[in-house]
Structure 1
């Protein structure tokens, strides 16, 4: 039985090789903007540093540090750079009302947001959402992030919790929020895909979104760093699902899945060295030119000479950070609306 599970887990982790090159189609046609208002509060809040509490949390995060082979996992010391990357992603996708709690424990604030988040139906908020918020209350990620909860998104209160100083993992929680918020029925979607095994589908979709977003807007090193963090993380998540089939195996298979994720990361071809993000490449087309017999300024796409029909623009770059475009449908986008 265990050998069969191991083979199945290996096959699932190998699917990571396709994730970096595929973009999920998040349902953007029915954007839901009735999320809980910030009511004048800052979008991003920080927990007050506490040496003892953060030290205990760091210790509980050791299994995650081993799985990702990164001491920044659940280190409860999030840098301004990681915070900035998440803030940029939220701004680029119009998610100004999504709350971000960086190493913060605020159960009162979360219960208020649960009540105020009218984008999710009351039936879901006061059942599944209440249980989720109760878990946040009695097992705070501020202490137990390496064991339960951890860096995550609560769709019922529209809040992101960040405890690791890894930009790709922080942005992944923003991608999870985007995936849920833009559903026509976000509560139904979030509840169904919180079930065992099914939770892997939105997890993979969010990671694919991060790969594409970083490829469009990040540096070469950031593209590699995103893969180094998210491949083993997804492998760990796959392995963790075995606990529902083999009680007591969660930690062992999570570490095994993370190890396979590292292997897949190592054997997957890296992006071409020197490849620049699309946003930077597109900006070159907006620079002045000095070509003979050509307009002194070339717009992108360039204007056609008089009497020649202009070509239809294929891509229109955004003014700021360019949002990742959807290229093909994913399984999670079609199972439940």
Structure 2
């Protein structure tokens, strides 16, 4: 479990707490503060809270003992399983804890992976029983922003890096599709999700997971079943046969409610999260997805996503990141504008002026960004994982 004050991983064995209506507070080894454990109803999930709220107890039998155990939802089939379960009793899938670096099994109380030496495992997998290897269903019980990294494969990543050469040239940034996403970007994505209402989202950082995409497609009840059957089947075929680890780019997939990241650029990552936030507030996300075939809707969605990214960077006071975002998002937007207003037979002749115009506008906007170089919030978020090698 995560300490609510400093996010440090607090070792916890739920099996040892069964039968207790008010477990003793646990002291965090990092910040030294005491945190209390409560049984949160109706989800019946064990969670850490700040001291002070009224505790809620499990239903009690005639003998005075709790009648139930803490439960949570299986991320694959949706069935109720024990909080400390290692395997779902309904779909029989493993829910063991895994290392985000190498994908190996890690003891629930470990803070360092014995295989690859990955530190601060709680940043990626904060509680035991939260995901099979490479397909962790969540970072902890209450975090709706679930981020997983693909296992490093240098030859594959190098080929994917080369295949994204066109994107690097068009946007004049070597970080585009470089298959090397800094870990501090993950903290910004979580902070972005919290700032916009904790909307549920799955983020795959340089990961190829067709089975995980299938389960997310089936579980996404916000999209109409017909759309998931038609568009979702085609998405899975393309995703599986043309692995995005090699050929894919940064994008948001509303069918599975997943953000795929392959670029080490904060502005691009926040842009894709902006798409997720935009879809999260729509009443009919499936219809909103289909409407993207209309050019004006495409431009509107891209504008809204870029606005989300820029507003977030402006709110935390990160001037440098905001300037870099303008330099990439503006020419990227002009590529959509170019495809919308220029006939296909003329695109090969006048594409270059459009992209150059986008770069000129992006640099003009970046020069208008002023103010302090960095706010305390930006510094805290950026340095949150600075100690990780």
| Interval containing the TM-score (normalised by the shorter chain) | 0.5 to 0.7
Which residue matches 1:60? 163
Which residue matches 2:187? 84
Whole-Å separation in 1 of the counterparts to 2:280 and 2:164:
29
Correspondent of 1:114 among 209, 213, 217: 217
Whole-Å separation in 1 of the counterparts to 2:170 and 2:369:
27
RCO greater where, 1 or 2, for CA within 8 Å and sep 6 or more? 1
Equivalent residues of 2:318, 2:375 under 8 A apart: no
Larger radius of gyration: 2
User: How far 1:269 moved relative to its partner?
Assistant: 6.9
Following superposition, which runs of at least 4 residues in structure 1 exceed 6 angstroms of deviation?
A: 276-280
- Structure 2: tracts of 5 or more residues without a match: 1-73, 79-129, 131-136, 139-145, 382-389
User: How far 1:159 moved relative to its partner?
Assistant: 0.5
Whole-Å separation in 1 of the counterparts to 2:274 and 2:165:
25
Matched, 1:262 2:359: yes
Matched, 1:179 2:278: yes
Whole-Å separation in 1 of the counterparts to 2:317 and 2:215:
36
Whole-Å separation in 1 of the counterparts to 2:329 and 2:299:
13
Correspondent of 1:165 among 264, 268, 275: 264
Aligned residues between the structures: 240
RMSD across aligned positions (CA): 2.8
User: How far 1:273 moved relative to its partner?
Assistant: 3.0
Q: Report matched runs for 1:1-337 at 5 Å.
A: 40=130, 41-42=137-138, 43-95=146-198, 97-145=200-248, 150-196=249-295, 198-241=297-340, 245-246=343-344, 249=347, 256-268=353-365, 270-271=367-368, 273-275=370-372
Equivalent residues of 1:240, 1:253 under 8 A apart: no
SS at match of 2:310: helix
User: How far 1:258 moved relative to its partner?
Assistant: 2.7
User: Please, what TM-score do these two structures have when normalized by structure 2?
Assistant: 0.56
Whole-Å separation in 2 of the counterparts to 1:214 and 1:126:
37
Greater per-residue helix proportion: 1
User: Please, what TM-score do these two structures have when normalized by structure 1?
Assistant: 0.64
CA spacing shift, 1:247–1:123, aligned 2, 3 Å:
farther
CA spacing shift, 1:199–1:133, aligned 2, 3 Å:
farther
- Structure 1: tracts of 5 or more residues without a match: 1-35, 281-319, 321-337
CA spacing shift, 1:95–1:37, aligned 2, 3 Å:
farther
Whole-Å separation in 1 of the counterparts to 2:303 and 2:226:
27
